[in-house]
Structure 1
């Protein structure tokens, strides 16, 4: 199952409908958040805000359903059923399930495309089974919720880099997603003013194989998009390499003093796909 909404996914509190369109205009997709971004007393109002902007008939939403994700509360909460009741009256069919922990939980979301958010110890350990669920189109991991379930205090060290356990979770979720042909989404970067740090982390996400990165502020989306967009030099080099492969025929060959084989050619093809160019 192929799935892509573009590289930058921007969270927007569902109880702030005045921000919906701005968020959608800044990023490739907007995530209307009914979970952590909304205080418990305001969740019903947030659901009402989502319903209000889809129109009385439910078929004329302000937001593009193909570029809108709704993050629902965990299956184990009372709010989950209320979230589903709300969604049933909207055209939105891509759901992010907070704190996904088992493949069994995904059955409650039959009929929806699900982004499973693995942000607990159990969710990370069960990532392969979750990724194998037929209605799952992507996995995302979450750092701070994960550390909270472990009894930790922070996912990052003083230098801003992730602690070993967070890096393990990041890699585990990426591997599980890709092993089952699903998309992988990198976690948010919470230091909002540090755009250089965001750029570096997104560049690593691109190089590692994440298809998207989630954002928590509109100013982050452009940084993420830029990191995913190959430079003209990278595009030219990829074309040159693939042309050289065609000229060489099959098998391993040398190009600018480097050994080139199938995996290296796939890297070049990936660059052209991200650039929207034909390989």
Structure 2
């Protein structure tokens, strides 16, 4: 499981001046050696990562896809650091992911059609601690041009991929991380999606700008009324046997599990 959430902030690996601020602002930082770094800046970015003075428990390093020369260089670089949680970009081949050095805990990023289809197999690997999905690379891999409709909502194919990755992670008892919301100014849309992510079972949501962090944290933190209901229904369960009625609603074990989840999230919710 990845327990750093709920707000995971991407930061380009070639911008070391942003590292400390990103870690201070978010629950964890995803230092990106892949798409956020131009090819001619990757060597410099790896050097910055070696020099970085960051808490390894709050850092995930996104590495380049397995099978690439950049992936080999990324792993060689990380072997010179204390960073041991990696996000594998465009994860598609379970056999390649399984061969990754056992020192590293893996977040498999299912962001292509092949990666989403392989989500079940990736989630079953012993070194994979979480799955994440990505919309833009997914649609590009299908030959499409946009993951969203004009109203800002995901197209059906993106929604299907999101659900498939969440189900694959849940079936194996590992964490699921929701995709980034690229429209930085659309905080209302981000809040809607993060609220849905939390209610659906995602452990965290990734983001690309510090302004998005507090929106995600608020979405994952249960409200006062939710916490009050959870405590009350669990107290009632101590006095009841089996299925019972509470505030006009049938309550059984799945509902009690929902209540326990709300209380766990309330306990770890950072202040916003």
TM-score (norm 1): 0.94
Offset at 1:76?
Answer: 2.4
Q: Which of 162, 184, 187 is 2:176 aligned to?
A: 184
Residue matched to 1:56: none
Residues 5 and 205, structure 2, Cα contact 8 Å, conserved in 1:
no
Offset at 1:190?
Answer: 0.4
Q: Which of 66, 75, 84 is 1:93 aligned to?
A: 84
Residue matched to 2:161: 169
Offset at 1:212?
Answer: 0.2
Residue matched to 2:188: 196
Q: 1-side partners of 2:36 and 2:147: how far apart?
A: 19
The answer on 1:141 being equivalent to 2:141 is no
Q: 2-side partners of 1:102 and 1:175: how far apart?
A: 19
Q: 2-side partners of 1:109 and 1:207: how far apart?
A: 34
Residue matched to 1:205: 197
Q: 1-side partners of 2:121 and 2:193: how far apart?
A: 27
Offset at 1:111?
Answer: 1.7
Residue matched to 1:7: 6
Matched residue pairs, number? 267
Residues 242 and 265, structure 1, Cα contact 8 Å, conserved in 2:
yes
Residues 13 and 37, structure 1, Cα contact 8 Å, conserved in 2:
yes
The answer on 1:153 being equivalent to 2:145 is yes
Q: 1-side partners of 2:23 and 2:128: how far apart?
A: 23
Q: Superposition pairs for residues 217-236 of structure 1, below 5 Å? A: 217-236=209-228
Offset at 1:133?
Answer: 0.4
Residues 26 and 222, structure 1, Cα contact 8 Å, conserved in 2:
no
Q: 2-side partners of 1:4 and 1:21: how far apart?
A: 20
Residues 72 and 96, structure 1, Cα contact 8 Å, conserved in 2:
yes
Offset at 1:110?
Answer: 2.3
Offset at 1:251?
Answer: 1.1
Residues 12 and 33, structure 1, Cα contact 8 Å, conserved in 2:
yes
The answer on 1:103 being equivalent to 2:94 is yes
Q: 1-side partners of 2:230 and 2:3: how far apart?
A: 22
Q: CA RMSD in A?
A: 0.9
Q: 1-side partners of 2:101 and 2:120: how far apart?
A: 18
Offset at 1:42?
Answer: 0.6
Q: 1-side partners of 2:2 and 2:28: how far apart?
A: 12
Residue matched to 1:26: 25
- Secondary structure of the corresponding residue to residue 254 of structure 1: strand
Q: 2-side partners of 1:4 and 1:266: how far apart?
A: 19
After TM superposition, the runs of 4+ consecutive aligned structure 1 residues lying more than 6 A away are: none
Q: 1-side partners of 2:244 and 2:114: how far apart?
A: 45
Residues 118 and 141, structure 1, Cα contact 8 Å, conserved in 2:
yes
Residue matched to 2:230: 238
Q: 2-side partners of 1:144 and 1:205: how far apart?
A: 18
TM-score (norm 2): 0.96
Q: 1-side partners of 2:233 and 2:57: how far apart?
A: 35
Q: Which of 35, 48, 55 is 1:64 aligned to?
A: 55
Structure 1 gap ranges (5+):
54-61
